[in-house]
Amino acid sequence: GAVVSQHPSWVICKSGTSVKIECRSLDFQATTMFWYRQFPKQSLMLMATSNEGSKATYEQGVEKDKFLINHASLTLSTLTVTSAHPEDSSFYICSAGPGYNSPLHFGNGTRLTVT
């Protein structure tokens, strides 16, 4: 089945630093990938749609300058949390689907803690 790999699984960083999270589709090409954020005991909130070779589409209320998305190839999308602050601490999870009528497959998520 389709596999999506996400790294790192967890990261702790200091306030003011930037953190990059990678999302890879291992056995299919993904022209589109999705980035979600999840707070404890809450649902997944779509942050942005990552499009290969073009700018990402951000959901309302998501700061594009804070959450930089790059989709440089058909198998890799990266999310960079810039100038991280404690309120950015959350679970970030990426997803992609191999094609028409297929479900989204998810990475295992990245737990970010900003101290």
Contact set with another protein (CB under 8 A): 30-32, 34, 36, 42-46, 49, 91, 93, 95-106, 108-109, 111
Across the chain, how many H-helices and E-strands are there? 0, 11
Task: Give the nearest distance from C-beta 94 to another protein in angstroms.
Answer: 10
- Cβ-in-10-Å burial (0-12, 13-18, 19+) of 38 comes to middle
Is the Cβ of residue 45 or residue 82 nearer to another protein in the bound state?
Answer: 45
Is the Cβ of residue 3 or residue 16 nearer to another protein in the bound state?
Answer: 3
